[in-house]
């Protein structure tokens, strides 16, 4: 008997149409299904549209809406496919990995680089691949499926702005390869720690700061006054400048005294951070309550902090939760 899958649509390029102001979402959930009649041979599908936005307009509150929709329908379906714009899909995949933990059913995000209504498009393949992967035995948890790859939800990053192969798995193997005839799985899901858990709170007061030479440390004063945490994208394996007149270390003490959480990540896409190697990282790590992202993607680090800070702002508890592995987000 075919599995029953719920398609949840949110807009994005996959559902966009040309307007006088450029591409904008205009294809509804039922119309999307009409473009992939072959899905009937894969599974039974119901569809619901909860948003119709360009994913540039995504907000953390919408992640809660997505999680709520899945929660309300969880017992009625064998899995879920969520169509989404590509620009922020990696953030959404990571966020849902924290808002829905230990799922025993697949939650698959997908989208397209071209609208499904275009004569030449990647949309139909990505949707059909997503339904096929959602029906594969043993698949559970959050994944992003795109251009023949299934990527663990916390490990996806958009690395190409126009090409079909837009997403890569960062610091972790792709979970599966998908083509018309087969699904080859490389990574099994994490062992479940218990029944599925849904969370209904998130704290969006997380700032992402990308360091550049010449940046004034005073920016941290503003961040400390308006945000609960900052993720600093530093250079190389992670470090903060302290030489000459632009001393970021002097500002860290003020931030941490205010109870703000500081996490240092790296601007380098692959291999992650290790602040213990160089003095510029070692000083920050050992003199102040600074955490580091290690091999987490920036998208995972940001959304994980948002989930954590909705639960606690205590440094010790934040540290413990940040360094707890969830949906393969961290290899410690």
Query: Which of 17-26, 247-256, 267-276 has the weakest average pLDDT?
Result: 247-256
Q: Reply yes or no on whether 86 is catalytic.
A: yes
For residue 252, is pLDDT > 80? yes
C-alpha separations of 57 from 4, 103, 114, 303 in Å? 30, 27, 18, 16
pTM check: above 0.85:
yes
Structure tokens at 176: 């599966």
pLDDT band at 204 (very low <50, low <70, confident <90, very high): very high
Please give the Cα distance from 315 to 156 (Å, whole number).
27
Q: Give me the pLDDT at residue 286, please.
A: 86
Q: What is the pLDDT of residues 137-194, one digit of tens each?
A: 999 999 999 999 999 999 999 999 999 999 999 999 999 999 988 999 998 888 888 9
What is residue 188's predicted lDDT score, i.e. its pLDDT?
84
CATH topology of domain 206-322: Rossmann fold (3.40.50)
* Averaged pLDDT, 37-46: 96
Task: Quote the CA–CA distance of 33 and 295 in Å, as a whole number.
Answer: 37
| CATH 3.40.50.1170 in the chain, residue ranges | 4-198
Q: Which residue has the tokens 């994208």?
A: 233
* Active-site option among 86, 88, 92, 110: 86
Q: State the SS3 of 126-180.
A: HHHHHHHHHCCCCCCEEEEEECCEEEECCCEEECCCCCCCCEEECCCCCCEEECC
In this predicted structure, what is the pLDDT of residue 28? 96
Mean pLDDT for the chain?
95
- 214 exposed, middle or buried (CB, 10 Å; 0-12, 13-18, 19+)? exposed
Binding-site annotation: residue ranges: 55, 86-87
Please say if the pLDDT value at position 33 is more than 90. Answer: yes
Query: Average pLDDT of 194-207?
Result: 97
What average pLDDT does this structure show over 16-32?
95
Q: What distance in Å separates the CA atoms of residue 159 and residue 268, rounded to the nearest whole number?
A: 12
Which residues belong to the annotated binding site for substrate? Answer: 55, 86-87
CATH architecture of the region 4-198: 3-Layer(aba) Sandwich (3.40)
> Do residues 240 and 252 make contact, with C-beta atoms less than 8 angstroms apart?
yes
Choose among 243, 312, 256: nearest CA to 286: 256
Quote the pLDDT of residue 134.
98
Note the pLDDT tens digit of each residue in 214-244.
999 999 999 999 999 999 999 999 999 998 7
Among left, alpha and beta (phi > 0; psi -120 to 50; other), residue 51 is beta
The answer, yes or no, to whether residue 332 has pLDDT greater than 90, is no
Mean pLDDT of 287-303: 96
For the cut 80, the answer to whether the pLDDT of residue 1 exceeds it is no
Q: Report d(CA 26, CA 20) in Å as an integer.
A: 13
CATH 3.40.50.40 location in the chain: 206-322
| Active site (annotated) includes residue 254 | no
Are the CB atoms for 7 and 32 separated by under 8 Å? yes
With residue 264 as reference, give the H or E element that holds it.
strand 261-266
Residue of 9, 10, 13, 266 marked active site: 13
Q: Which of 74, 43, 33 is nearest to 136 (CA)?
A: 43
Quote the pLDDT of residue 189.
84
The pLDDT value given to residue 87: 97
Q: According to the model, what pLDDT value does residue 245 have?
A: 83
Q: What is the pLDDT of residues 86-113, one digit of tens each?
A: 999 999 999 999 999 999 999 999 999 9
Q: Worst-scoring range by mean pLDDT, 16-20, 43-47, 247-251, 267-271?
A: 247-251
């Amino acid at each position: 008997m075919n599995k029953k899958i719920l398609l949840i649509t949110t807009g994005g390029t996959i559902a966009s149409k040309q307007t006088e102001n450029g591409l904008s979402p205009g294809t509804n959930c039922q119309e999307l299904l009409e473009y992939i009649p072959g899905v009937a041979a894969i599974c039974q599908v119901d569809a619901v549209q909860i948003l119709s936005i360009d994913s540039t307009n995504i907000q953390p509150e919408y992640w809660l809406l997505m999680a709520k929709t899945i929660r309300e329908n969880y017992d009625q379906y064998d899995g879920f496919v969520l169509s989404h714009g590509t620009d922020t899909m990696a953030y959404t995949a990571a966020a849902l990995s924290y808002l829905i933990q230990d799922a025993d059913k697949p939650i698959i995000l997908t989208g397209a680089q071209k609208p499904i209504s275009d004569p030449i498009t990647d949309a139909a393949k990505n949707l059909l691949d997503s339904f096929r992967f959602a029906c594969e035995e043993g698949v559970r948890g959050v994944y992003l499926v795109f251009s023949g790859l299934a990527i663990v939800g916390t490990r996806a990053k958009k690395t190409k702005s126009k090409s079909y192969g837009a997403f890569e798995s960062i610091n972790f193997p792709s979970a599966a390869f998908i083509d018309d005839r087969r699904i080859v799985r490389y990574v099994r899901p994490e062992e479940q720690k218990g029944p599925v858990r849904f969370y209904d709170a998130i704290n969006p007061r997380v700032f992402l700061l990308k360091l550049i030479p010449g940046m004034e440390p005073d920016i941290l004063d503003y961040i400390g006054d308006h945000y609960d945490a900052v993720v600093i994208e530093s250079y190389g394996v992670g470090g903060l400048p302290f030489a000459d007149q632009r001393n970021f270390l002097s500002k860290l003490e003020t931030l941490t005294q205010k109870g703000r959480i500081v996490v240092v990540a790296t601007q380098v896409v692959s291999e992650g951070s290790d602040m213990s190697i160089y003095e510029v990282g070692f000083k920050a790590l050992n003199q102040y309550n600074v955490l580091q992202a290690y091999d987490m993607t920036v998208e995972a680090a940001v959304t994980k902090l948002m989930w954590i800070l909705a639960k606690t702002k205590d440094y010790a508890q934040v540290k413990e939760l940040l360094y707890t592995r969830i949906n393969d987000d961290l290899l410690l």
